[in-house]
Structure 1
Amino acid sequence: MKIKNIKAYHVVQPFVDGPYRMSKGRVADCFDAVIVAITSDSGVTGWGEMAPLGNFYSAAFPAGTRAGVPEIAPHLIGQDPRGFAGIGRLMDTVLKGHPYIKSALDMACWDLAARAADVPLVTMLGGRESDVAETYRVVTHGTLDQMAALAKRIIAEGCRRLQVKVGGIVHDDIERVTTVAAAVPKGTVIFCDANAGWTPYQARQFADATRGIDYTFEQPCTTLEENMSVRRILDKPMVLDESVTSLGEMLEIHRLGAADGLTLKISRLGGVTQTRLIRDVAVDLGFMITVEDTGGAEIDTAAMAHLSLSTPAERRLHAIAFHEWVTVRTARNAPPVTGSHMGIPDGPGLGIDVDPALLGEPFFEIG
């Protein structure tokens, strides 16, 4: 089997609930996605998606993705899409760095290979460990009343896991988390995610003032050394997200004992291939795992769901349903979400029935 044709589409995906706000005044109005279709000489098509959260969240930006795909795609024509490691080495050879650009292409190769084999992607990723994954939802920055109301609405809709955005002015964030925790039922799982917005001094202030609240601390500071300095005084679990950029970084986190859990973002790691590798090693090392991405709709959410459900249940933290965040559709179906649980669509590959008519004209095509 050989790659015969590659198309790339640009799809803007506005948020259902308006602007997404996080620490340091960072705001996004939409996911700005690139969707890739890779077709083999046997006529099977696989799909991949990558959507940075604005220009500020990670070392990725929408215009860079659109510019990068034409740099790589011509070199993939004629390659076997099932040779994931070789495809990865080839992409790294023709374009150094920029893993986010490679993510959608890698994802499409996995989808294509699983569809050609007539098996769900979860089977190729190690097998289904459970039928559904627990999901969480985000309480973004806002006034105390706004955040409490949003948290109550999320709980009323059946979700029991909240990620509360912090990382701003410490005393304001202490009030925010205290208010949210008081507004939701006892036993609600709370993660306080600073998105690397604090100095160690600020993170220690927050941790000291909120000792009476049950939560998991997520990525308080930027560097691994800063997070480790907070970890030493912390009496709560810590999860690292932005610090996990490669297998080497994950192994360093383990060596230092810097975290109890990891959030693996597919596009930050360069695609499904590296995410699966790092996930499997991290599971063997004893980490708790969340697999997600920087954004996207049905295609990317499906990839997250397959990776999540092939993660051992006892090592899985939770998942997120990004396709529910946006106002546009890219497929005729989606990963099924019931209450606080998400499954995977029926069918081979990602299980997603992508409708090209919903994507517009491709901005790039080669074959």
Structure 2
Amino acid sequence: MKIKSVTLHFIAMDLLTPFVTSYGTVKKREMILMEAENTDGVVGWGEVVAFSTPWYTEETIQTCFHMLNQFLIPALFKQAIEHPGDIRAIFAPIKRNHMAKAAIDCAVWDMFSKKEGKSLATLIGGTRERIEAGVVIGIDQIPNMLAHIERHLKEGYKRFKVKIKPGYDYELIRQIRKEYPSIPLMADANSAYTLKDIEHLKCLDEFRLMMIEQPLGSDDIVDHATLQRECDTPICLDESIVSYDDARKAIELGSCQIINIKIGRVGGLTEAKRIHDLCLDQEVDLWVGGMLESGVSRAHNIALASLPGFTIPGDISASARYWERDVIIPEVMVEDGYIHVPSGCGIGFDIDRDFLRDITYETRTYVNPHLG
């Protein structure tokens, strides 16, 4: 399979409500949608899920564009692809830049599954026809966060994640547990704490949380092992896990009991599947994280979450949770707390071309110069 062309669609979408974490607030979401076409005319879609500023990882929309433009797309054009797993070897000489790589990896997986006449979920080994949906509540006034939980509970969501930060944690969780003593609840710290906070974090054990996600440094697995030994609450690693080797080392050190996989963070579906297989073998629980994505990435997340090792509902909400209108047709829907895993070829969704034109502020098309 040879790639004939790649088109980058630079888009911007307004969130229905600002999303607040310990890092800051996101109101408008910039993304790059990647449209790749092979020489047989089969099209696959991927998405750059980096943010406009480097608050989550070192990558941004602009750094990803630079890498795609100067290095990754030219490397992609030079070689024939027998299987999407080949992308990992093609890009191996290029260090990190996982979110830029993931956009191509996912587009090729979508293209390949369409070429094979199979759904993406089936092709990567998915076993579920539907997945449980979880929801994230950003930092807000406690009454507002309680109201969000109530609304999403009525919508059937199966797991609730709340963002926390120093000074806005214990009392927040206490009041949530007072109102909702039995809901599946977890807290996401986005690296806001240090080991100096260990006694304070241990106080959260009383609330029977499913997990505390990434409480310590975004690149740490050593201090998390110390924290996990002291806390009864399971530690989940997010930002620290950007590769199979990171996951292997974290498991060996006892740094966590749970791992969150974000396709963009680990460089694509190929690496995500490798981490899944490792954790399944080591009996480490998994769930799929979210990045405030468009429906393109959401579709890839749904396929990933259909794999057997994902035992915890992921951050995969309905399109309407974040967007007035999504770029896919049909939009992702949550019914009684579940999302249907598409059975159609590829990601199982069509692109809303009219809406895509409305939200695109720049387009770049690259044609493979190595084709006769």
Q: TM-score, normalised by structure 2?
A: 0.90
> Hey, what does 1:189 align to over in structure 2?
184
Contact 1:81 1:113 in 2 (8 A): no
> Hey, what does 2:40 align to over in structure 1?
42
Measured in 1, the distance between the counterparts of 2:61 and 2:154 equals: 35
Measured in 2, the distance between the counterparts of 1:164 and 1:292 equals: 13
Q: Is 1:157 aligned to 2:152, yes or no? A: no
Contact 2:222 2:253 in 1 (8 A): no
Q: How does 1:238-257 map to 2 (within 5 A)?
A: 238-257=235-254
Contact 2:214 2:235 in 1 (8 A): yes
Map Cα deviations across residues 182-235 of structure 1 (whole Å, 9 max, x no partner). Answer: 222x32000011111101222431322x33211022111112122122111111
C-alpha deviation, 1:357, in angstroms: 3.1
> Hey, what does 1:168 align to over in structure 2?
166
Q: Which residue of 335, 347, 352 corresponds with 1:350?
A: 347
Residues paired across the two proteins, number:
358
Q: How does 1:130-149 map to 2 (within 5 A)?
A: 130-149=128-147
- Unpaired runs of 5+ in structure 1? none
Structure 2 counterpart of 1:62, which letter? I
C-alpha deviation, 1:293, in angstroms: 4.0
Structure 2 counterpart of 1:353, which letter? D
> Hey, what does 1:364 align to over in structure 2?
364
Contact 1:336 1:344 in 2 (8 A): no
Measured in 1, the distance between the counterparts of 2:201 and 2:312 equals: 27
Displacement over 4 Å in runs of 4+? none
- Unpaired runs of 5+ in structure 2? 368-372
Q: How does 1:272-287 map to 2 (within 5 A)?
A: 272-287=269-284
Measured in 1, the distance between the counterparts of 2:157 and 2:312 equals: 17
Q: Which residue of 228, 233, 237 corresponds with 2:230?
A: 233
Measured in 2, the distance between the counterparts of 1:89 and 1:136 equals: 34
Structure 2 counterpart of 1:28, which letter? V
Measured in 2, the distance between the counterparts of 1:319 and 1:23 equals: 18
Give 3-state SS (helix, strand or coil) of 2:277's partner: helix
Measured in 1, the distance between the counterparts of 2:291 and 2:65 equals: 16
Q: Is 1:23 aligned to 2:19, yes or no? A: no
Q: Is 1:101 aligned to 2:81, yes or no? A: no
Measured in 1, the distance between the counterparts of 2:155 and 2:124 equals: 31
Give 3-state SS (helix, strand or coil) of 1:19's partner: strand
Structure 1 counterpart of 2:29, which letter? F
Measured in 2, the distance between the counterparts of 1:206 and 1:88 equals: 38
Structure 2 counterpart of 1:263, which letter? N
Contact 2:31 2:61 in 1 (8 A): yes
Measured in 2, the distance between the counterparts of 1:203 and 1:137 equals: 27
Contact 2:22 2:190 in 1 (8 A): yes
Q: Which residue of 192, 200, 205 corresponds with 1:205?
A: 200
Identity across the alignment (%): 22
Map Cα deviations across residues 95-121 of structure 1 (whole Å, 9 max, x no partner). Answer: 432111111111000000000111001
Measured in 2, the distance between the counterparts of 1:108 and 1:318 equals: 22
> Hey, what does 1:294 align to over in structure 2?
291
Q: How does 1:31-70 map to 2 (within 5 A)?
A: 31-55=29-53, 56-70=55-69
C-alpha deviation, 1:340, in angstroms: 1.4
Q: TM-score, normalised by structure 1?
A: 0.91
C-alpha deviation, 1:316, in angstroms: 4.2
Give 3-state SS (helix, strand or coil) of 1:29's partner: strand
> Hey, what does 1:179 align to over in structure 2?
175
C-alpha deviation, 1:278, in angstroms: 1.1
Q: Which residue of 208, 213, 217 corresponds with 1:214?
A: 208
Measured in 1, the distance between the counterparts of 2:173 and 2:50 equals: 27
Distance 1:322 1:158, change over 3 A: closer
Measured in 1, the distance between the counterparts of 2:190 and 2:356 equals: 31
Structure 2 counterpart of 1:199, which letter? T
Distance 1:319 1:293, change over 3 A: closer
> Hey, what does 2:84 align to over in structure 1?
84
Measured in 1, the distance between the counterparts of 2:328 and 2:183 equals: 33
